[in-house]
Amino acid sequence: MTFSRRSILAGMAALPMARGALAQSPMGLARGPVQPNWPSLVSNYRYPDWFRDAKLGLWAHWGPQSVPERGDWYGRFLYMQGHPMYEHHCKTYGHPTVAGMKDVQNLWTAERWDPDALIARYKKVGARYFMALANHHDNLDCFDSRYHAWNSLRVGPRRDVVGTWEKVARKAGLKFGVSNHSAHSWHWYQTGYGYDPTGPNKGERYDAFKLTKADGRGQWWDGLDPRELYTGGHMVMPDGIDNIAGMNAWHDKHDGQWIETGPTDDPAYVTRWLLRQTDLVEKYKPDLIYFDNYGLPFGPIGLEAAADYYNRSIQWSGKIDVALFAKQLKPNERFGVVQDVERGFTDHLWEEPWQTDTCLGDWFYNVARLNDKSYKTAEQVTQRLADVVSKNGNLLLSVPQPGHGAIDSEEEKILDRLGEWTAINDEAIFGSRPWRSYGEGPTKLTPGMQNEAGAGAFTPRDVRFTTNKGALYVLFLGWPSGTASVASLARGRLDGVIECATLLGGGPVPYRQDAAGLHFDLPRKPDGGFVPVIRLDGRGLV
């Protein structure tokens, strides 16, 4: 279903809370030079220098789905009989006909959350910006939401999570961002309207289907309407399915797709999404916004949100000084917002700045990652950082938090080791720019998103280049043993004259250059060492 500017205006007029909330336009959207269309976004947007300099951001992808400590999409899978999350839910919280995602949300108490300590640790790692989860597909706003009653001041922590992160991050001198994933809640939650196809509860609908606001009287959720949280039954599984395979097939075909349009039976859903988004921007003035969408959310509605954000930035600072992320953008669109490549790679140097986002483990905390030691290592994170930065990108790294809010000891160790590396090699990363080539090496990366699992391991022959303040930096993604050679820097291929080679943190390095390459005699790999960086100084190198 498509939505026009006229339909948005009509939708806002139908919601009393919206009128007068933002006095800048009849729609509550900020006026300014940026119009809600791609030509206007592209012609007005310029990537901020601070974003290009930042290179590394850390992300608290943290919300109520962290409580069960079972990983991603808990609020959807708990309603699918036969899924491990369904089994865990029944044993731990009760059957989803009675206890659903609303109840898990209220168990998100954040009792061990120390945002000051976490932000201090993230800053020590080298992060220049920090991103907080504003909401996820489970449809709980983790902030003081004016237009959505299911928010963290009324449910779970009973506090403004985003607002707390914002104050602490800015106090520490970090740029602050928010991520909005709620455009997908309406189809993602449709499993909550289903039922068990087998067993003693066969055919009995789950809580999303049964509950109304009236059912909350005397309950912890008194005054809240579950239909607002669960979004309404837009694709309800029909009666009569009597096996798990049939249930899974039905959901895969219908609500299991990644849908970027709004529900056809509820146009007001999209209007409410826009109200929640502009409220988020007005309250917290984020420097970065991440949309978990292919393109901008809901087509023209996402354009309205982008124009509003850019015009507000002009009001705040006199220019567009923010970064807005979306995924799977068309080539021309990547100059109007920043392209994000989720858990993926590029195989070439991009003309425009971009970002990849990834995670130490699962997006939402999964205790199995701790128990089986399957987190990304500090070396793997550093390799990704070097690869991305060499190709004109930034890395946004999520550090999963359990529901109580304190990261685990293994994550602390990974971050500490990453911080030790950046303390020595920061000049090769932060404030750097790409060289004429991103690098060389045998490891071939497949461009695209969600393909980390199929990527090969980097080797000492995989080399990346960056430049900063006239110096050329050579980053080896593995630590070479013996002579290390870089063909791209051979005599006749490298313009300019090398006058000095220095291993960051280690002093001068012997080198020689011939027609086959530039050759270094690096010291033996130290215990725990990874990704050595050589700084080349000279004339005309960059």
- What would the pLDDT profile of 6-34 be if each residue is shown by its tens digit? 443 444 444 333 323 333 554 689 999 99
pLDDT tens-digit map of 309-364 = 999 999 999 999 999 999 999 999 999 999 999 999 999 999 999 999 999 999 99
Q: How remote is the C-alpha of 263 from its chain's centroid?
A: 24
Give phi and psi for 286, each to the nearest 5.
Answer: -65, 145
pLDDT tens-digit map of 170-182 = 999 999 999 999 9
Per domain, the residue ranges of the chain are 5-353+392-407, 439-539
Angle, in degrees to the nearest 10, between helices 115-125 and 161-171: 50
Whole-angstrom Cα distance, residue 78 to residue 135?
19
pLDDT for residue 142 is more than 50: yes
Residue showing tokens 């983790």: 142
Strand stretches in 313-365, DSSP E: 323-327, 338-342, 354-359
pLDDT recorded at residue 19? 28
pLDDT recorded at residue 39? 97
Whole-angstrom Cα distance, residue 402 to residue 113?
9
Whole-angstrom Cα distance, residue 65 to residue 362?
11
pLDDT recorded at residue 1? 40
Given CATH 3.20.20.80, say whether it is the number of domain 5-353+392-407. yes
Q: How remote is the C-alpha of 536 from its chain's centroid?
A: 34
Radius of gyration for the chain, computed over Cα atoms and rounded to the nearest angstrom:
25
Whole-angstrom Cα distance, residue 263 to residue 329?
22
pLDDT tens-digit map of 98-115 = 999 999 999 999 999 999
Contact by Cβ (8 Å): 463, 488: yes
Q: Could you tell me the two tokens for 349?
A: 């140097």
All residues at 6 or more sequence positions from 324 whose CB lies less than 8 Å from its CB, including other chains: 288, 289, 291, 306, 309, 310, 337, 338
- Using DSSP's 3-state secondary structure scheme, residue 389 falls into helix
pLDDT recorded at residue 490? 97
456 vs 119, more confident: 119
| pLDDT, average across residues 228-251 | 98
pLDDT recorded at residue 11? 47
pLDDT recorded at residue 456? 86
Whole-angstrom Cα distance, residue 146 to residue 313?
21
| pLDDT, average across residues 294-303 | 97
pLDDT recorded at residue 25? 55
H/E element, 123: helix 115-125
pLDDT for residue 365 is more than 90: yes
pLDDT recorded at residue 383? 98
Angstrom CA distances, 336 to 107, 183, 301, stand at: 40, 20, 15
pLDDT tens-digit map of 369-381 = 999 999 999 999 9
pLDDT recorded at residue 453? 82
pLDDT for residue 2 is more than 80: no
First to last CA, the chain: 51
Average pLDDT, the chain: 94
Query: Bridge partners of 103?
Result: none
Architecture of domain 439-539: Sandwich (2.60)
pLDDT tens-digit map of 50-98 = 999 999 999 999 999 999 999 999 999 999 999 999 999 999 999 999 9
pLDDT recorded at residue 13? 43
Contact by Cβ (8 Å): 434, 406: no
H/E element, 518: strand 517-521
pLDDT recorded at residue 27? 60
